[in-house]
């Protein structure tokens, strides 16, 4: 189960993409750096989950994906727990909640944002860079293409692995150099296919009139509505309230 955009009709989905991005950014900052205990972090995480459920966000792929970082959570929990000599469960829980909170915030943002919205968000984020002569739009496009093609590349790796095993080839694992050596037959075709795919994509974009030097019009216009600002203020309010708590 991959975390990807799953379209639904709800207030969370209809928020302006830049505001969605800002809310996610504030939540990530809150979970990462705000000095609070596990209770405050737990309340913040619960609030995020409740709002997501009210906004009809499918949380199952995010929960399933959490299993992949289970080992990381365990290690971080251990390190933090033993950071002051004897094992402190609350410290371990706090560290785990921080990572889970960041993971949930980013996961929910990806789930409720379409490719066009993500593109718009990155464009607006990179906009200040244009002042220094950097190609903000192109950078945004690169970001979106990279995010868009990550699942494609992952499924391609899986396809190649299965295609190799289907021929009676034994893909030995091992450790160190042998592990790297066993990955080579997988990585070389993946890389070469990714380059071929990039060429195809460039051709497809040019065939539809894409040109780096020209300025483009926008099919969808996103305006910041009152409800968007209300959402942003609500998010900031909850974070500040928990800081004071």
Please report, as ranges, the residues that interact with another protein according to CB under 8 A.
159-160, 162-170, 185, 189, 192-193
Are 224 and 19 within 8 A, CB to CB?
Answer: yes
Between 85 and 168, name the residue whose CB sits nearer to another protein.
168
Between 35 and 184, name the residue whose CB sits nearer to another protein.
184
Alpha helices by DSSP H, 38-175: 38-54, 60-66, 70-81, 89-112, 115-126, 136-165
Q: Among candidates 41, 38, 55, 46, which has minimal Cα distance to 108?
A: 55
CB of 104 to another protein, least distance (A): 24
Number of Cβ atoms within 10 Å of the Cβ of 245: 10
CB of 152 to another protein, least distance (A): 15
Local structure of residue 166 (DSSP, 8 states) = T
Judged by phi (left if over 0) then psi (alpha if -120 to 50, else beta), residue 130 lies in alpha
Between 168 and 176, name the residue whose CB sits nearer to another protein.
168
CB of 160 to another protein, least distance (A): 5
Between 50 and 196, name the residue whose CB sits nearer to another protein.
196
CB of 192 to another protein, least distance (A): 7
């Amino acid at each position: 189960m991959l975390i990807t955009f799953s379209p639904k009709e709800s207030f969370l989905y209809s928020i302006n993409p830049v505001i969605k991005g800002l809310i996610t950014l504030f939540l990530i900052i809150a979970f990462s750096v705000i000095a609070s205990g596990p209770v405050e972090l737990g309340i913040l995480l619960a609030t995020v989950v409740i709002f997501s459920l009210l906004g009809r966000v499918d949380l199952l792929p995010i929960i399933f994906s959490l299993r992949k970082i289970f080992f990381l959570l365990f290690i971080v929990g251990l390190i933090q727990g033993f950071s002051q000599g004897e094992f402190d469960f609350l410290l371990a829980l706090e560290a785990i909640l921080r990572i889970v909170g960041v993971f949930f915030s980013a996961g929910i943002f990806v789930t409720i944002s379409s490719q066009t919205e993500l593109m718009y968000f990155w464009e607006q984020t990179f906009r200040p860079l244009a002042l220094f002569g950097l190609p903000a739009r192109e950078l945004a496009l690169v970001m979106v293409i990279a995010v868009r093609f990550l699942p494609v590349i992952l499924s391609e790796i899986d396809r190649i692995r299965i295609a190799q095993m289907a021929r009676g080839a034994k893909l030995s694992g091992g450790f160190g150099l042998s592990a790297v050596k066993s990955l080579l037959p997988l990585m070389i075709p993946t890389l070469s296919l990714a380059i071929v795919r990039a060429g195809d994509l460039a051709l497809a974009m040019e065939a539809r009139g894409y040109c780096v030097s020209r300025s483009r019009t926008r099919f969808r216009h996103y305006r910041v509505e009152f409800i968007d600002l209300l959402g942003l203020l609500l998010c900031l309010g909850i974070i500040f309230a928990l800081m004071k708590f």
